[in-house]
Amino acid sequence: ESLTVGELAEKLHRDSSEVIKKLMKLGVMATKNESLDKETIELITADYGVEVEEEEVIDKLDIDIYTDENDSEENRTERPPVVTIMGHVDHGKTTLLDSIRHTKVTAGEAGGITQHIGAYQIEENNKKITFLDTPGHAAFTTMRARGAQVTDITILVVAADDGVMPQTKEAIAHAKAAEVPIIVAVNKMDKEGANPDRVMQELTEFELVPEAWGGETIFVNVSAIKGEGIDELVEMILLVSEVEEYKANPDKRATGTVIEAELDKGKGPVATLLVQDGTMHVGDPIVVGNTFGRIRAMVNDLGRRVKSAAPSTPVEITGLSDVPQAGDQFVVFEDEKKARSVGEQRAARAKDEERNLTNRVSIDDLFSQIQDGNMKEINVIVKADVQGSVEAVKGSLEKIDVEGVKINIIHAGAGAIAESDVILASASNAIIIGFNVRPDVNAKRTADVEKVDIRQHRVIYDAIEEIEAAMKGMLDPIF
């Protein structure tokens, strides 16, 4: 629930007119009944020297600050890890997901296996693991672009007979940008030309070095088709999660992220939600993205109706008033009236803003962002016509060091600027530098929508000089 000017004044024990005057000084024209966003509320309260109690400002856009009386550190207990499988096309992602599911789901449950809700859970030694089976990298990146982080561990699938391919590199870049641990599954070990050593060798270039060679990356040889190596892979996932200690509080109201959603002719809006914290129950009032509702029914990954869903559990729900988007976050509220009012406000605001992407990094305002202290690292994606140029541009960029601000190259490769580069840039707030390459049509369109800055150059020196100048504020006519 957000606050109107009048409500805020009351909480501050001030006159509304006084608050309105203060707002005017801040350049905000607002009447007494106008609602204020969180930033503005904070500005005003800071001006009065008052700290905002988070519960007082359960802002419609700020699910993160929503708190619960049962929310305390000691209530947090172990939760299953959430795993995403990535890799080059045809290297066996789908087959591996199927294989894990079939190997690990007990016979009694197998009946429900046809159900597809975009995610599933397995159980091994009384420990659960959640797998997202949304295809390709798109799910991962669009979710991250929307600010949702759902993946705990990435399984990088590399075919032993094919080795590291373009989408393998892309997957590595995505996982690294999200700071998610990577387990490498070297697949198709049953094939004639399988050469796992070559895969390991190739991956050392990306700092994925196997333990046997003194590194820290876990490699597991598998044959998804024959179901070989699956036990070990599952063991390794459990090992990583033991080290990482993923936790959540099952006693509080549920929060989480939309995995996928659609409109079903009979059931209305249907959404697969991943509960990331708390426990969700049938009947719960809920705000999901810009929509809201009351959970009418919940179905698990086996197609069974369930009454509640604990942390890391994926469930398909009905009862929403509209279809949310993948990557939207959700929050369960204690009463339906509140959920409705927050949901309606969010919908109204979403319409107002449509897309607010003003925080995007761009060459033109790099200096002011650095000055504001918002920018300690500048994320950059480098694309060039040939590998030699990629290395040259990368090398020169990495040497730039202006006032302690570092250039961080999150992805570099030869070839045209593709839509996936733009999505990665958008998810990581990065600038794309193209050297003798252009964005393709899709990349250009997405860059326009997502407001990603693409700089194209024909001379390496120009590319370097431009970014260095931008960092020093030399593009600013005042200097």
Among 188, 252, 346, 457, binds ligand GDP (CB under 6 A): 188
Residue 469 interacting with ligand GDP (CB under 6 A) = no
C-beta closer to ligand GDP: residue 145 or 158:
158
104 binds ligand GDP per the rule CB under 6 A: no
225 binds ligand GDP per the rule CB under 6 A: yes
Q: Does 137 carry a binding-site annotation?
A: yes
* Binding flag, residue 165, ligand GDP (CB under 6 A): no
- The answer to whether 398 and 464 have CB atoms below 8 angstroms apart is no
Among residues 25, 73, 89, 479, the one that binds ligand GDP under rule CB under 6 A: 89
Give the DSSP letter of residue 223: B
What is the rounded CA–CA span in Å between residue 261 and residue 267? 12
Judged by CB, which is closer to ligand GDP: 92, or 319? 92
Q: How far is the CB of 259 from ligand GDP (least distance, A)?
A: 18
43: tokens are 């500005």
Question: For residues 381 and 176, what is the distance between their CA atoms, to the nearest angstrom?
Answer: 13
Q: Which of 187, 241, 300, 420 binds ligand GDP (CB under 6 A)?
A: 187
If the CB atoms of residues 187 and 379 are measured against ligand GDP, the closer one turns out to be: 187
Window contacting ligand GDP (CB under 6 A); options: 218-226, 272-280, 286-294, 334-342: 218-226
86 is in an annotated binding site: no
Residue 134 labeled ligand binder: yes
List the structure tokens of 297.
Answer: 């029914």
**Token reading at 149:** 């982080």
Q: Which of 4, 16, 75, 94 binds ligand GDP (CB under 6 A)?
A: 94
The enclosing H or E element of 168 equals helix 166-177
Binding site annotation covers 188? Answer: yes
Least Cβ distance, residue 234 to ligand GDP (angstroms): 16
Give the number of residues in contact with ligand GDP, rule: CB under 6 A: 15
Query: Which two three-digit tokens encode residue 113?
Result: 């296996």
How are the residues of the chain apportioned to helix, strand and coil, as percentages rounded to the nearest 5? Answer: 35, 25, 35
Which of 146, 191, 281, 360 contacts ligand GDP by CB under 6 A? 191
Q: Which amino acid is at 176?
A: K
| Residue of 91, 169, 174, 253 interacting with ligand GDP (CB under 6 A) | 91
Per CB under 6 A, 257 contacts ligand GDP: no
Residues 6+ away with beta carbon under 8 Å from 472: 367, 402, 479
Instruction: Give me the DSSP letters along 9-65.
Output: HHHTT--HHHHHHHHHHTT----TT-EE-HHHHHHHHHHTT-PPPGGGG--TT-GGG
How distant, in Å, are the alpha carbons of 78, 99, 252, 452 from that of 75?
Answer: 10, 35, 9, 41
According to CB under 6 A, which one of 40, 168, 223, 369 is a site residue for ligand GDP?
Answer: 223
Q: How far apart (Å, rounded) are the C-alpha atoms in residues 252 and 317?
A: 19
- Residues 14-73 touching ligand GDP, rule: CB under 6 A, are none
Q: Which residues are annotated as a binding site?
A: 87-94, 133-137, 187-190
Annotated binding site for GTP: 87-94, 133-137, 187-190
In the complex, the residues that contact ligand GDP under the rule CB under 6 A are: 87, 89-95, 187-188, 190-191, 223-225
